[in-house]
Amino acid sequence: MPIVKFIEFNGKEHDIDANNGESIMVAATSNLVPGIDADCGGECSCATCHVLIGAEWQSKLETRTDSEESMLDLNPDRTDESRLSCQIIMSDNLDGIVVNLPEFQY
C-alpha cells in the first residue's frame, strides 16, 4: 500500500497507508487526518479538501481538470502547489507523496 505523508499546518505529521484507487481525500478522512472537510464527498463541488503538494510530486500527478482549476482559482490561500485532494487518485508510483494541509478550508 502506498504511503501518504500528511503534514498539518502546525507541523504535525501523519503517515497514512492509502489504498490504490482511492483518493488522497478518502485516505485522509478514513484515517481521521484533521484539516480536510470534504463536505461534498468527492464530487469536486465544494473545494473543502484543498491541499498543497510540492513541485517534485506535482510532476507525477495528472494536471488539474478545468473544474478543479476553477474551484481552486478563487481560494485565498491558492498557490502553485494547490490541489483538491478528492481529485488525486493514489497508486504505487505516488508512494511517499507529501501533502501539506492549509490552515483553513473555505
Partner 1 sequence: MVIIGAGQAAGQAAASLRQEGYEGSITIIGEESQPPYQRPPLSKAYLSGELPMERVLVRPAKFYDDKNITLHTGTRVESINRGTKSIATDDGQTFNYEKLLIATGSRPRKLSIPGSDLNGIHYLRTIDDVDGIRAAMENAKSLCIVGGGYIGLEVAAVAASSGLKVTVLEMESRILQRVTTPEMSEYYHALHTERGVNVMVNTGVSGFSGEGSVNEVLCGDDVRVQADLVIVGIGIIPNVELAEAAGIDCENGITVDAHCRTSDEDIYAAGDCTNHPNPILGRRLRLESVPNAMEQARVACANMLGGDKTYASVPWFWSDQYDLKLQMVGFSGDGDESVLRGDKAANQFAVFYLKDGNVVAVDAVNSPKEFMVCKQLYGKAVDKAALADPEVELKTLLN
Given the rule CB under 8 A, which residues bind partner 1?
26, 29-30, 32, 34, 37, 39-43, 45-47, 67, 70-71, 73-76, 106
State the residue for C-alpha cell 490504490. Answer: 20
The residues with which 98 forms a beta bridge, in sequence order, are: 5
72 grid coordinates: 481552486
Report the residue number, 37 or 57, with the smaller CB distance to partner 1.
37
Angle formed at CA 97 by CA 32 and CA 55, multiple of 5 degrees: 125
Report the residue number, 46 or 88, with the smaller CB distance to partner 1.
46
Q: How far is the CB of 93 from partner 1 (least distance, A)?
A: 22
Report the residue number, 55 or 74, with the smaller CB distance to partner 1.
74
Q: How far is the CB of 56 from partner 1 (least distance, A)?
A: 28
Report the residue number, 71 or 94, with the smaller CB distance to partner 1.
71
Q: How far is the CB of 34 from partner 1 (least distance, A)?
A: 6
Angle formed at CA 28 by CA 82 and CA 38, multiple of 5 degrees: 65
Q: Whose CA is closest to 48, among 2, 98, 99, 101?
A: 101
